[in-house]
Chains A and B, each alone.
Chain A
Amino acid sequence: MEVLYELKDKLDMKDDEFKEAKEEIKRIDKILERENIVLNEQFKIGLYSHIISFIRRLKKGEKTIEIGNDIISQIKDYPLDIAKRIVVPIFEKYKTAPCFSEIILVAIHIQTAIYVKEGRDNNGRQDSCSDRR
């Protein structure tokens, strides 16, 4: 949760917004823990800031861009399933119909974290620089 506290300042979060985000992040961490997906500090910053921004977008009724098949086809079923479990309850909480592009954006975070853990690059290839993160 240390990362989340750092983001509170960086993203100018008020106490109410922070409390809301903290609840969601706790839920997400439990999902990832059950799947044995460990996020390093960098990936936590990436995913947590994304979730905070996603909730802000939902509240404002903002939509993200539509993600094309060139990207969707690169996402594996497993990270997609985890992303659905992360994102769909947030849509439900804010009474908004789920948007597949938002699910894909979170799935990219999950897939990349899995690839890095396996020593592959962001595109799934064996990475000679996998110690970067």
Chain B
Amino acid sequence: MDGKIVVVIGDRLGKGQNVAKGVESAGAKAILIPGMAADMKLGDVMHENNADLGISFCGSGGAGALMAANKYGYKAKYGLRSIDQGLTALKEGAKVVGFGFMDSAELGRKLVEEYRKLYKKG
């Protein structure tokens, strides 16, 4: 993957395009899972792609993050509602972050920038 940070995005409603744009604008590779209930596949797609970070969106604040954590043991933070909460979750070691619906380029960009700062990758 060219040493790039790989970020998988799964949104219950098949959205997340803006987050993906933000991720790419920060120089990382975004894998946006297509279709409805995409968040439920987050763990599988992260595992298949040996991803660095997963971002889940749904009404409850990221059930996909909990599912990914359960199946693959990824450290997850769930129920996040803001960019700052996402950055804090990364600082606390989360590999999967679960949000309420929040399709924002700024979120994708800032998460990648924080990840890069923390892990000196990409």
Contact = CB atoms under 8 A, between A and B. Distances in A.
Interface of A: 6-7, 10-11, 41-43, 45-47, 49-50, 52-54, 57, 64-65, 67, 71, 74, 101-102, 105, 108-109, 111-112, 121-123, 129, 132-133
B78 A11 contact: yes
B67 interface: yes
A54 B71 CA distance: 23
B60 A49 contact: yes
Contact of A49 (B14, B37, B44, B66): B66
Given A121-B35, A122-B37, A53 B12 contact: no
A46 B64 CA distance: 7
Contacts of B59: 50, 53-54, 57, 64-65, 101-102, 105
Interface in B89-115: 100-101
Contact of B63 (A45, A65, A74): A45
Given A122-B38, A122-B40, A46 B63 contact: yes
B30 interface: no
Contacts of A11: 78-79
B78 A10 contact: yes
A123 B36 contact: yes
B70 interface: yes
B35 A10 contact: no
B41 interface: yes
Contacts of A122: 35-38, 40-41
Interface in B11-44: 12-14, 35-38, 40-41, 44
Given A64-B101, A108-B12, A74 B66 contact: no
Contact of A53 (B35, B41, B60, B71): B60
Nearest to A116: B40
